[in-house]
Every structure is written in structure tokens, then in C-alpha cells.
Amino acid sequence: MLVVSAYMTQATNDKQEVAPTLSRLSALPEALGSVTDLLADTGYFGAANVNAFVDGNIQPSLAVAREHHHVSV
């Protein structure tokens, strides 16, 4: 099952949205299952977020660097 969270944004402070989002996800009905994996861009990479994933037993797949935009052909 794929769940796309409506709580994550493209805001410049999006790194600070991980903990509240994980809290909201843990409050969902048990019948929906649990979060096992998370895929996110480099904006979510940081020690606090990685620790939150580990504490929540969630396997993060986070980009650690950005590619340059508009690479020449």
C-alpha cells in the first residue's frame, strides 16, 4: 500500500514536518497497518529525522544530495 501524506510540503522548513507527520500516522487506525518505509527528497535528510525513523522502526530512503537543474544536453 502506498500512502502519500498531505502533511508534507515543499516549504523551506519541511525538514521540521517529519516528527509531526509520523505522530499523525501513528494515530491512524491499527487496521490500516503501520508505516514500514519512507521515501523523501534531500530536504528531509538530517540527524533528527533519521533518528525519528529509527525510533519508529521505519526504513528511510532519503536523497543525500541534489542534482544540478537544467543540465546541458
Q: Per the structure block, which three cell numbers stand in for 71?
A: 543540465
- The predicted model scores a pTM of 0.65
What local confidence, expressed as pLDDT, does residue 33 receive? 83
Quote the radius of gyration of the chain (alpha carbons, Å).
Answer: 14
Q: In order along the chain (73 residues), what is the average pLDDT of each group of 10 residues?
A: 59 75 83 84 82 89 74 68
CB 66 within 8 A of CB 42: yes
CB 25 within 8 A of CB 52: no
